[in-house]
Amino acid sequence: MAHYMVRGGNPLSGEVEIAGAKNAALGILAASVMTNETVTIENIPDVSDIRAILNAIEEIGAHVERLDRHSCRINGSGISSQAVVDNDYVRKIRGSYYLIGSLLGRHRRAAVALPGGCNIGLRPIDQHIKGFRALGADVYLAPPGMVVAEAEVLRGAHIYMDVVSVGATINIMMASVMAEGTTTIENAAKEPHVVDTANFLNSMGANIKGAGTDVIRIKGVQKLHGTTYSIIPDQIEAGTFMFAAAATRGDVLIKNVIPKHLEFLTAKLTEIGCQIHESDDEVRVVATKRLGATNAKTLPYPGFPTDMQPQITVLLGLSNGVSIITESIFENRFKYVDELTKMGASIRVEGNTAIITGVGKYTGANLSSPDLRAGAALVIAALAAEGVSEIYDIHYIERGYEDFPEKLRGLGAEIERVDTDQDRRRFSFKIV
């Protein structure tokens, strides 16, 4: 079975280029079929969740032309109002729920298989449905596990979100851009990918104001038009490399980032003793000594992101002192702690809190990735550990990290994606 083999111990050093943001790309690609005109999108990350959504829009009639590895031209004029979005891949990814908002907004009808995604909690979509209904849609479940949303007319509405939800905010924005009148979303999510999707829709002729604050106003327009748009860099991929640099006591220049989107991470790393140097679109992380302890609680943006919770826990597991990490977004996001324990970590989980007593070192072990970000965090642990680790279930990691082993090797890490026993033996017996 394909898995990663990692020989730990090398401080990461050098430069790494960050790809486009997966979670922005999912919204933007879904929105790209809301016009009959052609849309060109650049800086798309080449990861499996993105391939799944591109495949989903192609299957329902969009013309997708790959211009190069990171750009494509999309024309959604071939999609009919009777389109049904359903295949095995769509059912596995979370971002497919954006096709409910985009098809409902464009055709007044969407039929989309219930979304999957990482198993990190209950992840209901009640807020999405509440928003669609407020706009006048009839929303119901139909076999086999489909969400159907349909409306004669969509009318702007005042929608107060009961929880801050990235997915519901983006979905309601898409459903309302061509509704009659004005929609107001209160208690909206402020994540950079919400802003990026709003900017993309505005570049297609939408009238969205306030994205990035907690009140978003959308004035309905008659139709959207073609555009060319470049997706923002992935803040979580950038953060993952920042924490990998810190955990291995390395010196890494992370390129193609928006430092403002990384402020919460920069602040925590500085607090525990890293040196951070920022410029316009780069951030350099230098860690020369064992880092200190701290506490953090995951919160919606601009708070500490839940998608960086496993990575900070891995880092603090090696720091000097006791740290407390509280997960307040998803209820099932500490599953990787059992794996870290196999490496010698001393972490006790009580409810949504992890109490971490830093240890001097991790030791290589056989590990299984429970989800995307936890998988990446286990790779960081393996890079910092003494000895060889084998990390399984890497299909999770491949959902969201482009060329992860290649980029890490570029920084001096010893990591290989091995497919066969022969590859495995070759890695194990490599003289170091």
Give the residue numbers marked as catalytic: 118
Q: How far is the CB of 102 from ligand EPZ (least distance, A)?
A: 14
Which residues bind to ligand EPZ, rule: CB under 6 A?
23, 26, 94-95, 118, 121-128, 163, 165-168, 189, 306-307, 329-330, 372-373, 400
Q: How far is the CB of 24 from ligand EPZ (least distance, A)?
A: 8
Q: How far is the CB of 188 from ligand EPZ (least distance, A)?
A: 11
Residue 84: count other Cβ atoms within 10 Å of its Cβ.
Answer: 16
The residue number whose beta carbon is nearest to ligand EPZ equals 167
Radius of gyration over alpha carbons of the chain, in Å?
A: 22
Nearer to ligand EPZ, 221 or 299 (CB): 299
Inter-residue contact 156 to 179 (CB < 8 Å): yes
| Pick from 92, 79, 82: nearest CA to 53 | 92
Please give the single-letter amino acid code of residue 122. Answer: L
Nearer to ligand EPZ, 303 or 412 (CB): 303
DSSP state of 352: T
Q: How far is the CB of 366 from ligand EPZ (least distance, A)?
A: 23
Instruction: Lay out the sheet containing 251-255: strands in order across.
Output: 13-17, 251-255, 282-286, 275-278
Nearer to ligand EPZ, 76 or 115 (CB): 115
List the beta strands (DSSP E) in 167-297.
Answer: 182-186, 207-209, 215-219, 227-230, 251-255, 275-278, 282-286, 295-297
Q: How far is the CB of 376 from ligand EPZ (least distance, A)?
A: 9
Nearer to ligand EPZ, 341 or 352 (CB): 352
Q: How far is the CB of 201 from ligand EPZ (least distance, A)?
A: 16
Residue 306's contacts (CB-CB under 8 Å, 6 or more residues apart) are 298, 327, 328, 329, 330, 333
Length of the chain in residues, anyone? 432
Please give the single-letter amino acid code of residue 21. Answer: A
Sign of CA dihedral 47, 49, 52, 53: negative
Sign of CA dihedral 246, 251, 257, 262: positive
Residue 312's contacts (CB-CB under 8 Å, 6 or more residues apart) are 243, 268, 296, 304, 325
Quick one: tokens of 356? 């971490």
| Pick from 415, 384, 407: nearest CA to 291 | 384
Q: Measure the CA–CA gap between 101 and 87, rounded to whole angstroms.
A: 18
Nearer to ligand EPZ, 72 or 164 (CB): 164
Q: How far is the CB of 330 from ligand EPZ (least distance, A)?
A: 5
Quick one: tokens of 240? 């993952």
